[in-house]
Amino acid sequence: MSAQTITLPPPPTRAPAPPRAPAMAPAPPSARIVSIRREPDADPPPDPLPDPRPLAENLARCVIEILAGTRDLDQIARWLSTDVHAHLMKRVVLSARARRVRDEAPSRPTFSLGRAVISQPGPGIVEAVVIVHGRARSRAVAIRLEQLGRRWRASAIHVL
């Protein structure tokens, strides 16, 4: 047998590096271009919540009418938490039972509202007190509103 010689192609060579540009002398400080990198603006502030005063006054009016039996509790259910709805439902049942014992029909109460006093103990929380002046007596309706998305919802209502 005869030995065959196999010739391999030469290994690839690297291409020579491109010539470097001559080093530049640093520019004088007055001629330097300063690039200011600005951070992207933060998210725009969320839409402000609506003024809680009209809601507090309307809830106070509605709660007095609900307890008097002239308004249905479900009319304001969307502005109430489930705990407040359950609490007011108990009060409605007790008020209706008391009217039945006295043999009274529900009648629209005559009252006027005082101005709501509003305080904000924390972000997204508002506490309000509305004085309701009736013929025989005045009552206070205390309401705690909490932020739910972009609206207010009552997390506590007490008629004093």
Kindly list the domain boundaries of the chain, sorted by start residue. 52-159
CA atoms within 13 A on the CB side of 153: 14
pLDDT in single tens digits along all 160 residues of the chain: 566 777 767 766 766 666 666 666 666 666 555 555 656 555 555 668 899 999 999 999 999 999 999 999 999 999 999 999 999 999 999 999 999 999 988 889 899 999 889 999 999 999 999 999 999 999 999 999 999 999 999 999 999 9
Phi, psi torsion values for 39, nearest 5 degrees:
-70, 145
In whole angstroms, give the CA distance from residue 152 to residue 113.
Answer: 21
The alpha carbon dihedral of 142, 147, 148, 150 has a sign of: positive
Q: Which CATH class is domain 52-159?
A: alpha beta
Beta-ladder partners of 151 = 148
CA atoms within 13 A on the CB side of 55: 22
